[in-house]
Amino acid sequence: MAGIGFELRRLVETRTIRGFASAAFSGIVIVAGPWIVTILSLAAAQHLSFFSAPDVALAFTGAMVWALAISLCLSTGFLHIFVRLSADLIYEGKKGEAAALLLKVALFVVALSLPLGYGFAAILVEESSHALLFRLAFAGLIASANVLWAAMMTVTAIKRYGQVLAAYAAGMGLMYVLAALLGPAFGAAGALCALAIGYASTAAVLIAAAVGGLGLSPCPSAARRLASHARRYRNLALAGSLYAMGTWIDKIVLWAARGSAAIGTQLWVYPEYDTAFFLANLALIPGLIYFTLATETSFSLDLRRFLTYLAHRRQPEVEAARRRLGSSAASALAAQSTFQAILSVALALVAPFIARALGADGGVFVILLAGGFFQLILLTTLNMLFYLELYLAAALASFCFLAVNALLSLALVLGPVPLPLGLPYLAGGLAASAVALGFLFSGISRFDRIIYLRASGEDYGL
């Protein structure tokens, strides 16, 4: 993502309102693209009249949330391996092979996701008049979401942000039209089908943009190369999977223990918590943009400088560059944390008004804002660990996030002493970010020795 950050940072450095606005708007679209799809889908769907029918809104929301949760939890690890191989190909100047790899991965993901998604749907959706369409749409949404994640990760290599905007505009527009046409006749199944097609069309436009920007050339032995990367970078995949599961585990526990589902489905949701969590997570968008514009770009530059010194300078200069890398990382994290803390406190002050207007609990919303603050620190630190290729450390921090969130969520629903909603998520983010920060600065303090170990053939930290 640092390549995007450099481009957007140039817009900011023009010191014009237009440049800053362009950077902010592009950052919102690129950094939070999947979230924007979800937000716009919900907003558009809620204004369609057929959603007022009994259980339609609950069935649609449950299916959408479950499909996205299944998609992220099952595919994130594989997608991390795909991104690593794609990035390696682009770095080696094999951009056409990276585009071909995306096409092959998209076909593989669809072939795997459709039967897997339908299997989940067969368990979660009972027989009804539109059960077949509902199950097919559920499977299609999982498949199209998986392809969309891969396409978004690849399209960041090109700089045609207008095509990203066009992809989302086309996909959301098609979704709304199809929902308006299919919803009155097929209810939640029709709306879910429209959303799946909207995701698929967005992914198709992004894939076309990636192929157009990167070119296309044969990518021989793609499966073998992916398998080789999966073995070598297994901890990278593990870190991604554990982080995704850690993000969802508190919701899954609450759904199972306290959730409700539309008649004829087992797609539980818990609106009292889900709505507050969704609103609190929107507060991460400015922080993610800040990360892309400032934190990631500065860390990337300092890391490049250190590696250049390591190859061409004397030991005292190398050590000084390593100390600068650590100091710069600390300063960047402090600045981003301050930015996010100010935003979170400001939102917490108006939480009662926001929550009341949108049907969420104000106290839960405040706790989740704090949890989101620590999740952003964790996400930022994990990305820095990825830059250093300390994948085992990232996996351990992600496991901490999952374990603490899961254990406290179980205590919340089963324990004799009631815990406030959102506390497991907050505690998981706090504990995991502390672990990740410890690994980050420990790794930076001896990063020159780590590089020498790797040069001698040892896969330290991988």
Q: What is the DSSP string of 158-182?
A: S--HHHHHHHHHHHHHHHHHHHHHH
Q: 260 forms bridges with which residues in the sheet?
A: 269
Question: Does position 1 have pLDDT exceeding 90, yes or no?
Answer: no
Give the Cα separation of 10 and 296 in Å (integer): 14
Mean residue pLDDT across the chain: 85
Give the Cα separation of 270 and 326 in Å (integer): 42
Beta carbons of 109 and 84 less than 8 angstroms apart: no
For the record, the structure tokens of 382 come out as 């994990």
Integer CA distances (angstroms), 293 to 34, 87, 297, 375, in order: 19, 20, 6, 18
For the record, the structure tokens of 192 come out as 């879910």
More confident residue, 66 or 168: 66
Beta carbons of 408 and 424 less than 8 angstroms apart: yes
The whole-number average pLDDT for the span 224-249 is 94
Among 93, 392, 84, which Cα is nearest to 225's? Answer: 84
Question: pLDDT at position 38, please?
Answer: 61
More confident residue, 317 or 444: 444
Residue type, 175: M
Question: pLDDT at position 200, please?
Answer: 94
List the single range of 7-16, 302-311, 318-327, 422-431 with lowest mean pLDDT. Answer: 7-16
Question: pLDDT at position 153, please?
Answer: 81
Question: pLDDT at position 30, please?
Answer: 58
More confident residue, 198 or 358: 198
Beta carbons of 268 and 261 less than 8 angstroms apart: yes
Collect all residues with Cβ–Cβ distance below 8 Å to 365 and sequence separation of at least 6: 276, 279, 280, 351, 354, 355
The whole-number average pLDDT for the span 340-347 is 92
The whole-number average pLDDT for the span 112-126 is 93
**Maximum C-alpha span of the chain:** 74
Inter-residue long-range contacts of 123-130, CB under 8 Å, 24+ positions, other chains counted: 123/266, 124/66, 124/265, 124/266, 124/267, 125/63, 125/264, 125/265, 125/266, 125/267, 126/264, 126/265, 126/266, 128/264, 130/186, 130/187, 130/188, 130/189, 130/190
Question: What count of other Cβ atoms lies within 10 Å of the Cβ of residue 341?
Answer: 14
Question: pLDDT at position 17, please?
Answer: 40
Question: Does position 18 have pLDDT exceeding 90, yes or no?
Answer: no
The model's pTM: 0.90
The whole-number average pLDDT for the span 274-290 is 84
More confident residue, 27 or 352: 352
The whole-number average pLDDT for the span 406-425 is 91
Give the Cα separation of 402 and 73 in Å (integer): 12
Beta carbons of 50 and 187 less than 8 angstroms apart: yes
The whole-number average pLDDT for the span 278-284 is 84
Helix (H, G, I), strand (E, B) or coil at 128: coil
- 107-125 burial, b at 16+ Cβ within 10 Å, e below that, comes to ebbbebbbebbbebbeebb
Indicate the pLDDT class of residue 16, thresholds 50, 70 and 90.
very low
More confident residue, 426 or 262: 426
For the record, the structure tokens of 330 come out as 């600390």
Among 457, 285, 246, which Cα is nearest to 376's? Answer: 285
Question: Does position 385 have pLDDT exceeding 70, yes or no?
Answer: yes
Give the Cα separation of 283 and 215 in Å (integer): 37
List the single range of 6-10, 293-297, 329-333, 435-439 with lowest mean pLDDT. Answer: 6-10
For the record, the structure tokens of 265 come out as 């489905």
Question: pLDDT at position 225, please?
Answer: 92
Angle, CA of 172, 37 and 56, to the nearest 5° = 80
Question: Does position 367 have pLDDT exceeding 70, yes or no?
Answer: yes
